[in-house]
Structures are given as C-alpha cells and as structure tokens.
Amino acid sequence: MLTLPPPKQRTQRSIEGGGGLHHGSTTKSKLQRERKKKSQSPLDSHIVQFTEQDLMDIDLQDIVMAGSPLHWTKHRRLMEKLIAHKFKLNTPNMNEDTPLHVMVKRNRLRCVITLLCSGARVNVQNKFGNTPLHHAVKIDEITLTQTLIVFDADIDILNKAKESARHLAAKESPFSAQILFVLSALGAKRCSNEQKNCNAGCREGGDFDGKWSPVLIELTKQYESLFQNIKNQKFFEEEMKKDAKEYQSSNQNVNLLALDGGGIKGLVTVQVMIELQKYLKRPIIDYFQWIAGTSTGSFIVVFLVTGTPLSQIRNIYMQFKDKVFVGERPYDAEPLEKLIKEIIGSELRMEDLRTNYHKMVMIPAGLIDRKPMKLHLFRSYESHYELLKIPDFDRGFSRQPSRDQLVWQACRASGSAPTYFKTFGPFIDGGLIACNPTLDAMTEIEFRNIALREVGRESECQKLRFVLSLGTGQQQTEESKAIDIGAYSLRLTEINNQIRYIYQMASLLLNEICNTDNHIVNRAEAFCSATNILYFRINPMFDKLIELDETLDFKIVNALWETKRF
C-alpha cells in the first residue's frame, strides 16, 4: 500500500496497490465525524480504483492544503471520473477554497468548465472572502474571467479587504484593461468613496472602463439600444407576465418560438434564453405553444419540450462538442445519436410531443432523393395534408414519416450538415432549406387554419399573436471583392485566379444558403406586420463567428460572453 503522508498530521489519503483512493473528508476531526455518519453516507467510505495515469494526473503541491481529490486534479479526464464517483463539488480545503477556486488559481480552463457544468457553486468565498472570480482577475486571465461570468458569477462581491473584481482589474497588469472591459461591459460597479488605492478604472466618478477592440465597443452600444427596445415593448412585458391559467383559458391565441440552425453555435441560442429567463416568472418554454427548430435548433427544441433545464442544455453542448467533433470530417454520427437517445429516449415519437407535452413542434429537413430538393417537416400534430386527406408525397416517391417518426431520428435528419455528418437516409440538414424556420412555421399555422375551416373545425383555429426568433449569432457585413463571372477561363496561366474564383463562388453560395438574417428577417417582419403579429428577432452580432464544429473552449467562452453582454 502506498500512503501519501499527511501535511502536519492534518490529512490522510491512501492509494491501495496503485488502485484505491478513499473518498472521505479532509481533516482528522472531519474523518472522525464521517466515520460516525458511515451508515448514513455509504459513499464516504467508497474506494475509487486509480490507474497509473490517474496518479500522474494528481498535483502533489495541492495535497498539502488537504481538500478532496477534486482539488488535486490536473486534467479534465480524472476530474470527470471523480465527479462520476460523486465526490462533492464544493468541499473546502484548509484555505476554504473549493475545487473551483483551485482550478482557477492553477489556470486549468477545462477543469473549470467541467466543474461549472457539473453544478459547482460559482460564488463561494474562501477564508479571505475571495470568490473564483477574484482569483481569475488576480492571475490576469481573460478567458477564465469570461467563463465565470458566463456561468453567472456575481461580479460585485467584495472580499474581506473590501475589494471587488473590478477594483483588482483596475490595477496595472498586461491584460488589466481587457479584463476591466470584460467586467464593465456587464455593468460591474465602481468602488465606494471609502475604498482606498483606487484609480480611474474603479473609483467612483472615474472615466475608464477598459479597452477592447473598437468593433466590440460599438457592438456593446448597439446591444444596449436593441435590448432596451425589447424591454420597452408593452406587449412583450404583458405576454411574459401571464400565468399558466391565462394560457390555458386562451388556447386560440398562440405564440411561436423559432430557433435557427448553426451547429455548436446553438450554445449562443441557449445563452440568449438563459438571459431572457431571468426576466420571466416561468420556464421560457411555457410561453410558447408552437415551437420550430432547424438542425441544432431541433435538438434544443426537443430538450426544452421534454423538460430539460436551460443550464443543463448548455452543459450538454459544452460536453458534447468533445465527444462528437472528433477526428476527420465527416464525423461519426454514432456519439451524436447516442447522446440524443440518452437524454430523450429511443422510443419517443414526434406525436408524443403533442400528446404528452402539449406542444406543436415542427422540425425541418431536406429531401435530396429528388430534384429540386424538397422541404420535409417532421410534425407533432396533424398537418393540413392529413386534415384534407391529401397525399403528402410526390408522385413516384414513397411517403416519408412525420408524426410517426422517432424524435431522435427527426433531429438526426435535420442535423445532417453536409461535410460534417453523412446524410440520414434521403434526408439532409434542414439548414440548407430552412436555416431560419420562422416563415415555414408561420406558413404551417396559416395552412392548418385553412384546412380546419375547410373540414368544419373552425373552432380549433389558432391566432398567432407573438413570434420570438432566435439566431446563433451573426457577423457584421464586411467587404468582399466582386466576382467576375465572365472572366472564367480554363487556361493554365489563369489557374490561380480560377481556384480563387471557385472558392469565392462556393463561399458566396454557402453563405446565402445558410443565411438567416437580412431579407429572411425582413420577409418574416412583413408577414407579421401585415397580420398584426408582434415579431422579435434576437441574433447577437459578433466581431468574429465561431465555426459550426468549434471545440476550442476559449473561442466558445468568448462567444458566450459576447452573447451575455446582450
């Protein structure tokens, strides 16, 4: 048995035969208390089998401060293993630091994200009153600061020295100006008059809010203007204050939630809803009877409808990226399919979303076994075709499932992004034909009402009152060299120009196919204006968009922080 000697006789851990680690408390007195509770907490005496790699992933410098193995972990792999064994996430060490404090101090971003996604408390203070955010600012780490803010760190908590994160950021360091902007852009308060050693970045009446790119500062002003616009809409406020009884008594008046496609950028959509949720009395999904989602939006829709909390959906996406986007493109879809089934089950059908959860759900996909490609909708309700007894398939082609489709298969079909995943039978990613599904959903509601009137069921018609369309982020319009189509040539001397031409043309076509804004939004706005429907489009503007299959944590965290500024 290999025994790790306790520092000053205050802690003890044993690793048996290179393979066992006792899961218990940290100090001698705590060990005694835990032994008394053994019958109540069997996990406290649980032994975790450790491999040689696990032992190498332990940071010996942190063991001297006691705590739990979560404090000593150097890599995410071991942290996930320990969390799976139910080690407590917020156990303090001798400095009253939680594992999150220690991971921030050690600048272990992946471990920090793993802890936060697993439910670690972000605002715990140690014996000096410091939160993990204080530590992130002290070590001059921009991404860690953004990460903690994204997960709702309180940016105004004071430590025992009466220092806020903003006060610490105002001190000169290589990245202090950028960190100060990260905090001030989210409304971090300045110091009171009683606080000493302040400067223009933190003192009351100061005029310095940090530095970032001029583009981001301009975007911040646009965000403030747009969000104020939304909050000032009387109807928006009234609609969001309604309780469940009011909705049940007005089944004929319905609201629509439409979510764009965009791969891992679905995290942006989720973050927008997390921020909106803070202004609502009930879960955001309760305010909408009709829900449409394309590609990544279909996953979010299904998770929401089946009761998955927004914070958990964000955690799913943060973990899913490293399990799904592995190796070369096209990626193996099996991990993606397995993930969906684990969350919603493998037997749930589209019609169950109506009968069990009382939601009218629409998921678009493209049928590519014909020319031209055809929009196919997986529905949880009777379509206008079914109501009118009209065949919903082209002559010469077999019928494709809709209400009877398994939900995980509908999501898989809608999320079959070309070059990222293989097609799913005759289906291809819905983003190629309805990346922003708002107009298609409004058309569905209108056609269904027409069919209901036609078959004498006018009492079931529904009046659309409010549309909320959420995007996955957009980039400001930038200059591009005009393509000279007439200059195309096969001459060898022009080969470089031709390659550039082909690339530019392909990029132009792809951008337009996947476009979710500009004229797409204008059409939806006009439709709503003509029919007296309140329409809101929220799609954060970024300095630079992340890729659909982005896995780098610092890029994703930055995108979520920019979204939170909204």
Write out the catalytic residue numbers: 295, 429
- The C-alpha atoms of residue 291 and residue 250 are separated, in whole angstroms, by 17
Full DSSP string of 251-263:
TTEEEEEEE---G
Structure tokens belonging to residue 23: 């899961």
Tell me the three state secondary structure of residue 13: strand
Residue pair 85/112 in contact by the 8 Å Cβ criterion: no
Contact 81, 69 (CB under 8 A): no
Bridge partners of residue 377, in order along the sequence: 364
CB-CB contact of 464 with 252 (8 Å): no
Specify whether the CB–CB gap between 405 and 381 falls below 8 A.
no
Segment (H or E) for 106? none
The DSSP bridge pattern shows strands 541-542 and 474-475 to be parallel
User: How many residues does this entry show for the chain?
Assistant: 566
- Cβ atoms of residues 155 and 165 within 8 Å: yes
Exposure pattern of 401-415 as b/e (b: 16+ CB <10 Å)? ebbebbbbbbbbbbb
Distances (CA, A) of 357 to 153, 286, 304: 33, 10, 10
Q: What is the DSSP string of 210-267?
A: ----HHHHHHHHHHHHHHHHHHT-HHHHHHHH--HHHHHT-TTEEEEEEE---GGGHH
- Report how far residue 162's alpha carbon sits from residue 390's, in angstroms, rounded to the nearest whole number: 71
What letter would DSSP give residue 545?
P
Would you say 297 and 429 are in contact if contact means Cβ atoms under 8 Å apart?
no
The token duo for 282 is: 């009930």
- Cα–Cα distance between 537 and 384 in angstroms, integer? 27
- Amino acid at position 263, single letter: G
Furthest-apart CA atoms within the chain: distance in Å: 86
